């Protein structure tokens, strides 16, 4: 999709962080922008921010409060967009998400249901609700695109990121499926796969709904503070949205928003290939031992996780809830 002006964008999670950055950038590109979020206070603040950034008039920005895991509410949001803007979105971006980290083996149903509910089931809801509307309104007539904000977490299998990584890997796969399926209709599809972004996701645990409160993870205020410090080193949401827009314009299925995207994805694919043979398993084991020795000898931790690796053990980041005493306490955030 290359022409945005005068068209309609719908961005979930558009009241904060990455979604807000996308709303600003596509509003500035001349689109009518609808945003959806579960937090009314965040929506109220976002509308003014978007208008101030893009210069759009108030009638071209629509804020809708919705819990995207609720199908009736999500379908009502789709109706609202058509009612106010006169049609479904030409650009549909599902960015809302939550995260929570802790040992896979300590994960509870609540951890899975909350994280996968928002990061995966809600994305499925959006696809089922919106894709038929988009095809009926625009196929063969004008350019359209659907996308989801996935994560680099979808390319890795982390010992402390199981629900999140599983959801994001599934989102990557879904976007590729829809890319193939929607091509004949002239509709593109992409998954945005960033690493660290400077957003408000560090405080998402504070908004975990009451019905999902039984977590197996250590989610203390100290852990939340550390996450804040970690994400503050991430890419700016506006810069990320600009890179995302360029990826959409180029029709990329996977938008890994870094200059070395090809190399870093290749490394993850090499790991998967290695896991398919005894020789490959030995190679991975040797690589792991090499990394351990390098770290012991003082090699720097990758920048993106340096804060977590340095301060995490002290505050119990990525650990199990303190009353769970059977989990390996030496667990690292990423890596075995
Ligand atoms: P954020 O917390 O600033 O924004 C996420 C928004 O989603 C929040 O406003 C929140 O209220 C909303 N939300 C959560 N549950 C919802 C629900 N059930 N219904 C409607 N809205 C809901 O976080 P951020 O970082 O902007 O997250 C956006 C996306 O970026 C997420 O999918 C996240 O997984 C992804 N991501 C974030 C990274 C980071 O380092 N911050 C890294 C890679 C991916």
Cα–Cα distance between 87 and 109 in angstroms, integer?
38
Query: Mean per-residue pLDDT for 81-86?
Result: 98
- The three-state secondary structure class of 195 is coil
Q: Do 113 and 172 lie in a common domain?
A: yes
- What's the whole-number average pLDDT of the chain? 96
Residue at 131 is within a domain: yes
Q: How confident is the model at residue 304 (pLDDT cuts 50, 70, 90)?
A: confident
Q: 201: CA distance to ligand 1 center in Å?
A: 6
Q: 38: CA distance to ligand 1 center in Å?
A: 11
For the domain that residue 29 is a member of, what is the CATH number? 3.40.50.720
Q: Do 70 and 114 lie in a common domain?
A: yes
Residue at 12 is within a domain: yes
Q: Do 247 and 274 lie in a common domain?
A: no
The pLDDT value recorded for residue 309 is 85
Q: Do 187 and 318 lie in a common domain?
A: no
Residue at 263 is within a domain: no
The pLDDT value recorded for residue 310 is 87
Q: Do 171 and 190 lie in a common domain?
A: yes
Residue at 196 is within a domain: yes
* For ligand 1, mutation pick of 18, 118, 122, 232 (most atoms within 8 Å of CB): 18
Query: Mean per-residue pLDDT for 262-275?
Result: 96
Q: Which of 164, 178, 179, 217 is catalytic?
A: 164
The radius of gyration of the chain from alpha carbons, rounded to an integer in Å, stands at: 20
Residue at 226 is within a domain: yes
Residue at 181 is within a domain: yes
Domain carrying residue 61:
8-258
Residue whose Cα lies nearest atom 13 of ligand 1: it is: 96
Q: Do 253 and 272 lie in a common domain?
A: no
Q: How confident is the model at residue 334 (pLDDT cuts 50, 70, 90)?
A: low
pLDDT of residue 331 exceeding 80, the answer is no
Q: Do 150 and 291 lie in a common domain?
A: no
Picking from 45, 28, 33, the residue whose alpha carbon sits closest to that of residue 7 is 33
Cα–Cα distance between 174 and 180 in angstroms, integer?
10
Last residue of a domain, one of 258, 289, 312: 258
* pLDDT tens-digit series, residues 219-255: 999 999 999 999 999 999 999 999 999 999 999 999 9
Which one has a higher pLDDT value, 283 or 304? 283
> Is the distance from CB of 42 to CB of 122 less than 8 angstroms?
no
Q: Is 68 in the pocket of ligand 1 (CB under 6 A)?
A: yes
Q: Do 242 and 283 lie in a common domain?
A: no
Q: 326: CA distance to ligand 1 center in Å?
A: 31
Q: Do 204 and 223 lie in a common domain?
A: yes
* pLDDT tens-digit series, residues 86-104: 999 999 999 999 999 999 9
Q: Do 178 and 305 lie in a common domain?
A: no
Q: 184: CA distance to ligand 1 center in Å?
A: 31
Say how many domains are in the chain: 2
Q: 85: CA distance to ligand 1 center in Å?
A: 25
Residue at 2 is within a domain: no
Q: Is 257 in the pocket of ligand 1 (CB under 6 A)?
A: no
What percent of the chain clears pLDDT 90, i.e. is strictly above it? 90
Cα–Cα distance between 133 and 227 in angstroms, integer?
38
Q: Across the chain, how many H-helices and E-strands are there? A: 11, 7
Whether 164 is catalytic is yes
* For ligand 1, mutation pick of 96, 152, 156 (most atoms within 8 Å of CB): 96
Q: Which residues face 187 on adjacent strands?
A: 144
Q: Do 158 and 218 lie in a common domain?
A: yes
> Is the distance from CB of 143 to CB of 91 less than 8 angstroms?
no
What atom in ligand 1 is closest to the CA of residue 21? 26
């Amino acid at each position: 999709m290359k022409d945005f002006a005068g068209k309609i964008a719908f961005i979930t999670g558009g009241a904060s962080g990455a979604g807000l950055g996308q709303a600003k950038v596509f509003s500035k590109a001349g689109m009518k922008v609808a945003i959806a979020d579960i937090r009314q206070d965040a929506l109220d603040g976002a509308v003014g921010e978007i208008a101030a950034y893009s210069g759009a008039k108030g009638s071209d920005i629509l804020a809708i409060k919705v819990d995207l895991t609720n199908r009736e509410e999500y379908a009502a949001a789709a109706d609202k967009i058509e009612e106010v803007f006169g049609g479904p979105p030409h650009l549909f971006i599902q960015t809302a998400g939550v995260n929570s980290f802790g040992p896979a083996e300590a994960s509870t149903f609540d951890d899975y249901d909350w994280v996968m509910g928002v990061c995966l089931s809600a994305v499925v809801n959006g696809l089922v609700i919106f894709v038929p509307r988009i095809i009926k309104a625009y196929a063969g007539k004008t350019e359209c695109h659907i996308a989801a904000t996935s994560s680099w977490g979808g390319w890795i299998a982390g010992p402390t990121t199981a629900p999140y990584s599983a959801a994001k890997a599934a989102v990557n796969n879904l976007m590729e499926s829809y890319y193939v399926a929607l091509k004949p209709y002239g509709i593109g599809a992409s998954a945005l796969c960033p690493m660290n972004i400077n957003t408000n996701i560090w405080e998402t645990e504070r908004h975990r709904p009451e019905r999902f409160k039984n977590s197996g993870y250590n989610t203390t205020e100290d852990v939340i503070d550390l996450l804040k410090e970690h994400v503050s080193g991430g890419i700016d949401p506006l810069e990320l949205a600009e890179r995302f827009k360029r990826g959409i314009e180029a029709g990329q299925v996977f938008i890994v928003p870094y200059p070395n995207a090809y190399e870093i994805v290749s490394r993850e694919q090499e790991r998967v290939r290695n896991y398919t043979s005894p020789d490959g398993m030995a190679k991975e084991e040797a690589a792991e031992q090499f990394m351990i020795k390098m770290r012991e000898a003082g090699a720097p931790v990758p920048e993106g996780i340096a804060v977590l690796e340095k301060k995490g053990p002290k505050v119990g980041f990525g650990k199990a809830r303190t009353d769970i005493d059977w989990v390996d306490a030496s667990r690292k955030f990423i890596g075995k």
